[in-house]
Amino acid sequence: MATGELTSSAYIKHHLQNLTYGKFPDGHWGFAENAIEAKEMGFMAFHVDTLGFSFVLGVLFLFLFAKAAKRASIDAPSGFQNFVESIIDFIDDNVRGSFKGQNPMVAPLALTTFIWIFLMNTMDLVPVDWLPVLAQKIGGLFGADPHHVYLKVVPTTDPNMTFGMSIGIFLLILFYSVKEKGIGGFVGELTLHPFGKWMLPANLFLEGVNLLAKPVSLALRLFGNMYAGEMIFILCALLPFWIQWSLSLPWAIFHILIVTLQAFIFMTLVIVYMDMAHQKEH
């Protein structure tokens, strides 16, 4: 690993900076060259690396599963077909065990969240310098300063990505809560539980916090674990070459468990939250 002219602190900051495209205060659009410019863009900014990698991995997921479906055979199933079917059976078992309602969308939603998050998490196993250095070289071909070309390759280390997914799940929770229980039932659930109608303010506070905690916990749990894992890989990359592999390889092997576990936890919580949204209290 070569850090070039970057100090250790600058190297870490460089790897934690997103490739940001947005609107500058003077009105023109472009790529931020540092964290200050990215901050000045405010809401009118896009993390191009997060959006790009998540989109490509989403397309890869759809392509592979569609390919397995088109080539599915009862008489002579391929190894890949058996692998895909084992994943689908695993998801189906989890949905049947945790979701008691009737909604055909829950199983596909669980499958999508598990596979998509797993693929995004798996990018954490790519050596930390490979893709960022490639991006710097490509940027240099177009006249950009390599030190101002950023690339974060793990979408789930970006809180914008994890909160985007959790907010989408939260909106589904609200939609099905109202659809299954009605407006009155949903409002009653927030205001009458757990202490009855005479403690309405306390009920609303407790149930409101509980409701809002769902997307926050989903987003921060995934982000925190993946961010910490990526940080350890970056710190290992700062060490001499002969030490790097002795530390990063065992961590990468252990991190395979974290990558899978975080995708599984996110999926399981989605199923549980959707089940709670479909429950009708009397």
Tokens (6 digits) for 176: 């099905």
Tokens (6 digits) for 184: 């009155």
Strands 45-47 and 29-31: unpaired
* Cβ 45 vs Cβ 21: under 8 Å: yes
**Would you give the DSSP letter of residue 158?**
S
Alpha-helical (H) ranges within 99-150 are 106-122, 130-141
If phi > 0 it is left, if psi is from -120 to 50 it is alpha, else beta; for residue 42 that is left
Q: Which residues are catalytic?
A: 217, 221, 225
- Give per-residue burial for 149-169: e unless 16+ CB within 10 Å, then b: bbbbbbbbbbbbbbbebbeeb
In three-state secondary structure terms, 22 is: strand
Among residues 107, 108, 218, the alpha carbon closest in space to that of 164 is found at 218
**C-alpha to C-alpha distance for 109 and 267, rounded to whole angstroms:** 8
Burial (CB < 10 A; 0-12, 13-18, 19+), residue 209, is exposed
Number of residues assigned to the chain: 282
